[in-house]
Amino acid sequence: MNNTTLTHSLRFLFLVFIQVLVFRQMTVGWGDFNYVHVMIYPLFILLLPIRIPDPLLIFLGFLLGMAVDIFYTSYGVHASATVFLAFIRPIVLKIMTPRGGYNINHSPNIKNYGFVWFLIYSSSLLFFHFLFYFIVSVFTHVYWVEIVLRTISSFIVSYIIILLYVRILNPRD
């Protein structure tokens, strides 16, 4: 097992445990409507190396989502959202290709591509993840206002926490 595999494996475990032990308990809302659901586990998919094969990426997304679903007892909602995230990641990377192209040995992080690039990359993927998650969890178009409110509020809070994580722990791989 090389250093990169070990780093990503530890990140997987760390993000799942933090998600389950800390952020599962953090929901903000009024009455029966919880607006903010903090989710940082999608960061694992965002920081995987660019060279990772698409089938492996989707499998890791499924594995990550199922690990969270087991603790949330949400029956595949997180798994479907992370599989969707893993599916659209190569598309977003293709759209955001820098002028010189990607170094396939790099991970898409601030150190390799700059803060603005990472901000656009991670925010777009995280927003799609939240939108898909809340659409699947509600599974009807009747509550579209609640879906949009939950998506935006959860995205803002989670993204601030993710940016703090990235700035403080400074993932290089």
Q: How many domains does the chain have?
A: 1
Q: Label residue 173 by pLDDT band (50, 70, 90).
A: low
* Position 2 pLDDT exceeds 80: no
Q: What is the mean pLDDT of residues 67-93?
A: 93
> Which pLDDT score, from 0 to 100, does residue 72 have?
87
> Which pLDDT score, from 0 to 100, does residue 141 have?
73
> Which pLDDT score, from 0 to 100, does residue 1 have?
55
Q: What is the mean pLDDT of the chain?
A: 87
Phi, psi for residue 162 in degrees, rounded to 5: -65, -40
Q: CA-to-CA distance for 20 and 117, rounded, in angstroms?
A: 29
- Return contacts of 66-69, CB within 8 angstroms, 24+ apart: 67/16, 68/16, 68/19, 68/20, 68/41
Model's pTM, two decimal places?
0.88
* Structural domain of 84: 3-169
